[in-house]
Amino acid sequence: MSERVKTMAEMAAAGETPEVLFWVGCAGAFDDRYKRVTATFANLLQKAGVSFAVLGTEEACTGDPARRAGNEFLFQMQAMTNIQVLNGYEVKKIVTACPHCFNTLKNEYPDLGGHYQVMHHSQFLQSLISEGRLKIKEDVEVGKVTYHDSCYLGRANDIYEAPRTVIEALKVELTEMKRSRAKGLCCGAGGAQMFKEPEKGRKDVNVERAEEAIATGASTIAVACPFCMVMMKDGLKSKEKEDQIDVLDIAELIYKAI
The reply to whether 131 falls in a domain is no
* Secondary structure class of 58 (helix, strand, coil): helix
Residue 200 lies in a domain: yes
The answer to whether residue 3 sits within a structural domain is no
Do 155 and 54 lie in a common domain? no
Question: Residue 138: is its pLDDT beyond 80?
Answer: no
Q: Where do the DSSP E strands lie in the chain?
A: 20-23, 52-53, 93-96, 117-120, 144-147, 173-174, 220-223, 246-249
Answer whether residue 48 shows pLDDT above 60: yes
In a domain, 238, yes or no: yes
Percent of the chain at pLDDT exceeding 90: 84
Please provide the average confidence, as pLDDT, over all residues in the chain.
Answer: 93
171: pLDDT confidence band, cut at 50, 70 and 90? confident
Contacts of 126 (CB under 8 A, 6+ apart): 162, 165, 166
In this structure, are residues 126 and 153 in contact, taking their beta carbons and an 8 Å threshold?
no
DSSP H or E segment with residue 150: none
In a domain, 163, yes or no: yes
Q: The CATH number of the domain where 34 resides is what?
A: 3.40.50.1860
Q: Does residue 229 sit in the same domain as residue 177?
A: yes
Q: Output the pLDDT for position 2.
A: 59
Is residue 204 in some structural domain?
Answer: yes
Q: What is the CATH number of the domain that holds 235?
A: 3.40.50.10700
If we measure between CA atoms, which residue out of 257, 250, 245 comes closest to residue 223?
250
pTM of the model: 0.94
| Residue 69 in domain | yes
Q: How many domains does the structure of the chain reveal?
A: 2
144 and 246 within one domain: yes
User: Which residues constitute the domain of residue 72?
Assistant: 8-126
- Where does a domain end: 98, 126, 154? 126
User: Both 219 and 167 in a single domain?
Assistant: yes
Contacts (Cβ under 8 Å, ≥6 apart) of 38: 24, 28, 29, 97
Selection from 88, 5, 108, 98 nearest residue 52 by Cα: 5
How many other C-beta atoms are found inside a 10 Å radius of the C-beta of residue 78? Answer: 20
